[in-house]
Amino acid sequence: MPTMASSTSAGEPLRITRLELRNWRNFAQVDVPLARRVFLVGPNASGKSNLLDSIRFLKDLVEVGGGLQAAIRARGGVSAIRSLSARRQPEVAISVRVGTTSEPDRWEYTLSFSQGTGRTPTIKRETVARNRVVLLDRPLKEDRDDEARLGQTHLEQVNVNREFREVVEFLQGVRYLHIVPQLIRDPERYIGRPNDPYGGDFLEQVARTPRRTQQARLSQIVRALKVAVPQLETLKLEQDAKGRWHLQGKYVHWRPQGAWQSEAQFSDGTLRLAGLLWSLLDGQGPLLLEEPELSVHPGVVRYIPQLIARTQRKTQRQILISTHSPDLLRDEGIGLDEVLLLEPGAEGTTVRPASDIRDVRVLLEGGVSIADAVMPRTEPEHAEQLALSL
């Protein structure tokens, strides 16, 4: 599995510089620039996860065993992807620009598809451009002659994607993490699928890492984890008689030798933080994080943006984070251009950078934190009714 993201000669790795969606789940129309670090903020069910999932969709196109049909099937079919507010247009479309700060339009990939007349989803259009020069614009003549071809993207086909292999490798480097501690602890996790975003194969992923890298990362993780869990002294990976991997942590204890515990005894917060730290160290492609604040003490959560910024200065990789946490957004280094606000409306959810909202800009100039400027906008209008609802 390729893990290296392509980079420019200057060393700055590629990132998604712009994302456009049409009729995609909650979104009738999205067209937003993406910074190297992005915080997605919005009410429950506004589509934060669906926005991240649109990027995972592109990764699924280029995965081994993936492809258009599998990616659509995994999401419940075109009808499940297509926005409820898409009345007239039957097509679902996604477009990304991939580049760097100095070359934001290096690549543009666009894909639109619909259910088609048959049973299989059909590509309506697929385009690839490099520096705005079109390299591919489907349907081609061959596609019109043989419509079955429109069931597969060129992105997923090695024999035709050579000219834009860089985009393919970039998308293969996308990582997604939303660790569910219960899955890591589950002894049946071994039957889980590889690269399980919910962490089912998290320990196997750690075990697959070359030993020296693995040990170096684990000691970095212990150093970081000690901030939240000062009793933790060491982390190591061990295999049991059945071949399952276990994370063993040594805790400073009233016993003179301390005590070893396995992941089954780790707290949810410890496991989630360990997973977050590992994912920051693993890979160079875009990293998608779902609510990294879950189960973590707010006093620790507020430093997650600093942790991410410091990691990014070294790796420059792009990191997209969905969050509900005012503690996380309290960091005064978070730029308005790094915050995307999702606002549901009658015509679907709109997405815009916080820097486009005058009131937010003015509040910040007046000394209000980003958390206090943005979070009230994501709160349900009548949240207090919850208390009276049963």
Partner 1 sequence: MGVEINGAVEGPIDRAVLRRLIEHVGGRPGVIHLGNGKSGVLGKLGGYNSAAYYSPWVVLVDLDDDFPCAPAARAAWLPRPAPHMCLRIAVREVEAWLLGDRLQMARFLGVPNSRLPSVPDAVSDPKSLIVEIARTSRRAAVREALVPSPGSGRVVGREYTSWMIEFGASREWWRPQEARATSPSLDRAIDCLDRLLAAVGTSDPPACRSPRPSLSS
CB contact burial 327-353 (16+ within 10 A = b; e otherwise): bbbbbeebebebbbbbebeeebbbbeb
Q: Measured from the CB atom, is 143 or 337 closer to partner 1?
A: 337
Nearest to 305 by CA among 333, 279, 324: 333
User: Number of C-alpha atoms within 13 angstroms, CB side, residue 82?
Assistant: 16
For the bound state, the minimum distance from the C-beta of residue 10 to partner 1, rounded and expressed in Å, comes to: 12
Q: Measured from the CB atom, is 183 or 336 closer to partner 1?
A: 336
d(CA 39, CA 334): 9
For the bound state, the minimum distance from the C-beta of residue 88 to partner 1, rounded and expressed in Å, comes to: 36
For CA atoms 303, 305, 307, 309, give the dihedral sign: negative
Q: Measured from the CB atom, is 32 or 237 closer to partner 1?
A: 32
Contact positions vs partner 1 (CB under 8 A)? 37, 299, 302-303, 305-306, 309-310, 313, 330-338, 355, 361, 364-365, 367, 369
Q: Measured from the CB atom, is 286 or 348 closer to partner 1?
A: 286
For the bound state, the minimum distance from the C-beta of residue 333 to partner 1, rounded and expressed in Å, comes to: 4
Q: Measured from the CB atom, is 188 or 332 closer to partner 1?
A: 332
For the bound state, the minimum distance from the C-beta of residue 334 to partner 1, rounded and expressed in Å, comes to: 7
Q: Measured from the CB atom, is 102 or 385 closer to partner 1?
A: 102
For the bound state, the minimum distance from the C-beta of residue 250 to partner 1, rounded and expressed in Å, comes to: 26
Residue 236: which residues within 8 A CB-CB, separation 6 or more? Answer: 218, 247, 248
**What residue spans of 131-201 are helical by DSSP H?**
141-145, 165-172, 181-185
For the bound state, the minimum distance from the C-beta of residue 197 to partner 1, rounded and expressed in Å, comes to: 26
